[in-house]
Structure 1
Amino acid sequence: MSLRQIEPKQRGFLIVNSHPEGAARTVRDMWEAVPARTDGRRPVALVLGHSAGYGLATVVAGLRRHGIRGIGVAFEAPDTGRRTAGAGWYRTAATAELVAEEGHDFRFVNTDAFSDDARSRVADLLEEHYGPVDHLVYSLAAPRRTDPGTGEVHHSVIKPLGAAYEAPALDFSAATPAVTWTRLEPGTDAEARATVAVMGGDDWALWVRALASRGLLADGFTTAALTYVGSEVTAPVYRHGTIGAAKEHLERTARDLDGSALLKEKDGRAFTVVAGAAVTQASTAIPSIALYTSFLRTVLGDGGFRTTAEQAVDLWDQLEGRTPLILDEEGRIRLDGWELDPGVQERVRELWADPQHALDASRSGADWFMKQVRALYGWDVGNVAYGRPVETDVPWPALG
């Protein structure tokens, strides 16, 4: 037992401790927001990066709406006594509780998904409990990756390419959000290659090949990797920067996998899925994305800004054939039409042109953003008693 009274500790845009009950509450709230399952098959799914962001939403929506069976993989830190476990650790424990309560069959593995050992371990579990995989959803986000073939450690960077980037940003490190300015020097070719090595499609392809080598691709197998395009407002630092280079590699990987003999043999498919903007632990680290997302929320309000869970429901309905695939000219599944609507983007650009005035005129989007950031770590969540000690040493769900 490790009952402790804890308070949020913020360093810059990061909160370094998490509240287990608050993190669990966010999962249950997401669960309740997903429409209940209708009749249908229970596909086998492998979700890589299940503990946060779109990966978490994919697991929750898949369980609640389609009764998926299978495995989620994440890499989360436990409680150390000095620092709480990561929020993803607590979210995983809460998801496992829902799995048990609702009679589902889904397991959670805590391991470095970039490693060959992880692929072997997960394949063993699939062979033992589930058999071939119907859907592999790739939603990993990490600052570094060790190449399993060479042992080289690659570090991703967030930089523009070709020219320096200077733009407004949202400072949410204090109690009141404020507009600041950021400047980033252009990344080098080596930094771009390293970012591609971490966030591109190499690891995704390794997972597909590993499953295929073990006979674990089901007939009609589908794999989908989450990506983002975003607005022209943030394009210099995102889509046209080092991260964008990685996303382009991810999309080329999808085309290569889709045309590969491995997938053709199984009548399989590979897609990238362009999701809409979201407040995630990964996105908060990207300069200007916080301010852009705040303004987007100001424009769209409560009903127009689609949550990760709502988008995950759309994705599963398309993957399972409940609704037609929404594909663009490059063959990507699009979930971001609500964000990139021309009228919406025009209103965002108007706010972006004078960001301090826009923030002074309406703080609703920025206040919402800050609350969402704190909720990522389990803070400022409704129906949670923050004033009392809480058990922080929560066990990872058993695999049995």
Structure 2
Amino acid sequence: MQQITPKQRGYLIVNSHPTGSDATVHRLWESITPAARTGRAPVALVLGSSAGYGLAILLAGLRRHGICGVGVAYETPASERRTATAGWYRTAATAGLVEQAGGDFTFVNADAYADATRAEVLKLLADRYGAVDYLIYSLASPRRTDPATGEVHHSVIKPLGHPYTSPSLVFEDGVPQIGSIDLTPADEAEHAATVKVMGGEDWRLWVQALADNNLLGPDFTTTALSYVGSEITAPVYRQGTIGAAKEHLEATAEQLQTTVLADRGRAFTVVAGAAVTQASTAIPSIALYTSLLRNVLGEDGWHTTTDQAVDLWEQLSGAKSLVLDGQGRIRLDGWELESAVQQRVRELWADPAGALAADPAGPDWFYSQFRQLYGWDVPGVDYTTEAETSVPWPAQQR
């Protein structure tokens, strides 16, 4: 039992709160409306199940569709000096909800990029769950070890071709202020390394491994999370190194559809909308853009990660028609990119200091959402009391 206070450095908090992380999962769970279910439980493999869209898709699948299967995340346990990562505590909370609901889901804590992890998960699937109906690929990492060569590749968040200068949102003791960022273009090695980490290579390896082990269900569907976003952030995102990786991911979907999944299943990239996640907070200028977008949309117009996850499952399960763009990508971001919304965000972006002075609600909301990623600022949690930091990883069911 420990009294914990946040240790924060900019957009990074190096410790997490177990009670707050647990409460975050329960709040997400309660925000999802249950649905009546019939028939067998679909088997799902969720890669990146402890945070962001991966967690939201997992919770929506459990709550509304009764999925069973395996979730893979790479989290760090508590030590004498540090708490566990927030994703560790969120996974424990998710497992508790699965148990309460009488479900059957197994959580593996391992590097999803590693061949050894693939082998472990494939054996678990074959022994306990059988063929996979859904593979959700939602991994985000600053580095990846190529299993074929052993080389470690590091991703960068940089523009391509031209320098990038932009206003940014910074917080001084929690008070929002307008700053500035200047980024030099990525070189070819950085460009290639980012595609290696965040492109579609690892996704293809997972699908191929399932196919090679006869673990593709008769109506197999796989999705990988992508983002397009606004023209405002395009120079550092869609036209930058991350955008190049997302283009590779999208090209991989087409390749999977015509090769390993030809007549055997479906592969889609899913273009999600803006969200406050541990991955998105690392992207320069995204905090300011998201805060202004929140001011424009307000609470009623904002689509949370669980809102979008429910929408995705409705489309994947056939409960509603697929919303596809001209490139065959599933779109969940229409609410963000509606022309009137983007026009108003551009107007605010032209004078961010004035926009902040006129309405700090968006930045204040962003700051609270960011801290909740680590279990802080969660409504209803008493942070003055001690919390148990040594929470066990969920045991595999027998």
TM-score (norm 1): 0.98
Following superposition of structure 1 onto structure 2, how do residues 286-301 of structure 1 map, counting pairs within 5 Å? Answer: 286-301=283-298
Corresponding residue of 1:99: 98
Contact 1:275/1:336 (<8 A) preserved:
yes
For 1:277, the equivalent position in structure 2 comes to 274
State how far apart, in whole Å, the 1-side matches of 2:350 and 2:374 are. Answer: 32
Residue identity opposite 2:370 in structure 1: V
The aligned amino acid for 2:115 is D
Q: Which residue of 2 aligns with 1:136?
A: 135
* 1:34 aligned residue: 32
Letter in 2 for 1:178: Q
Distance 1:318-1:124 versus aligned 2 partners, 3 A rule: same
Give the conservation status (yes or no) of the 8 Å contact 2:37–2:66.
no
Residue 177 of structure 1 corresponds to: 176
Q: What letter is aligned with 2:112? A: A
Pick from 285, 300, 304 the counterpart of residue 303 of structure 1: 300
Conserved in 2, the CA contact under 8 Å of 1:11 and 1:173? no
The runs of 4+ residues in structure 1 deviating greater than 4 Å are none
Distance 1:321 1:45 in 2: 16
Distance in 1 separating the partners of 2:286 and 2:257? 31
Mapping 1:169-318, distance limit 5 Å: 169-172=168-171, 174-260=173-259, 262-266=260-264, 268-318=265-315
Match of 1:380 in 2: 377
1:5-24 maps to which residues of 2 (within 5 A)? 5-24=3-22
CA contact (8 A) 1:10 1:173 kept: no
Cα distance, 1:382 vs structure 2 = 1.1
Question: Between Structure 1 and Structure 2, how many residues are aligned?
Answer: 396
Structure 1 unaligned segments of length 5 or more: list them: none
In the TM superposition, what whole-angstrom CA distance separates every residue of 1:82-116 from its partner, at most 9, and x where no partner exists? Answer: 01000000000000000000111111000000000
Q: Which residue of 385, 391, 397 maps to 2:394?
A: 397
Instruction: Write the distance in 2 (CA, Å) between the matches of 1:244 and 1:153.
Output: 21
Tell me the distance in 2 between the aligned counterparts of 1:326 and 1:126.
30
For structure 2, the 5+ residue unaligned runs are none
Contact 1:134 1:222 (C-alpha < 8 Å) held by counterparts:
yes
Correspondences of 1:307-386 after superposition (within 5 Å): 307-386=304-383
Whether the 8 Å contact between 2:233 and 2:289 is mirrored in structure 1 is yes
Following superposition, the deviation at residue 385 of structure 1 comes to 1.4
Shift of 1:196: 0.1
Task: Assess if the C-alpha contact under 8 Å between 1:44 and 1:132 holds in 2.
Answer: yes
Structure-2 separation of matches of 1:93 and 1:149: 32
Contact 2:47 2:137 in 1 (8 A): yes
CA shift, 1:37, in A, is: 2.2
Distance, in Å, in 1 between the alignment partners of 2:263 and 2:347 is 50
Question: Tell me, what secondary structure is at the counterpart of 1:171?
Answer: strand
How many angstroms does 1:188 deviate by? 0.5
Task: Normalising by structure 2, report the TM-score.
Answer: 0.99
- CA RMSD, aligned part only? 0.7
1:124-156 per-residue CA deviation (whole Å, 9 max, x = no partner) reads 000111000000000000000000000000000
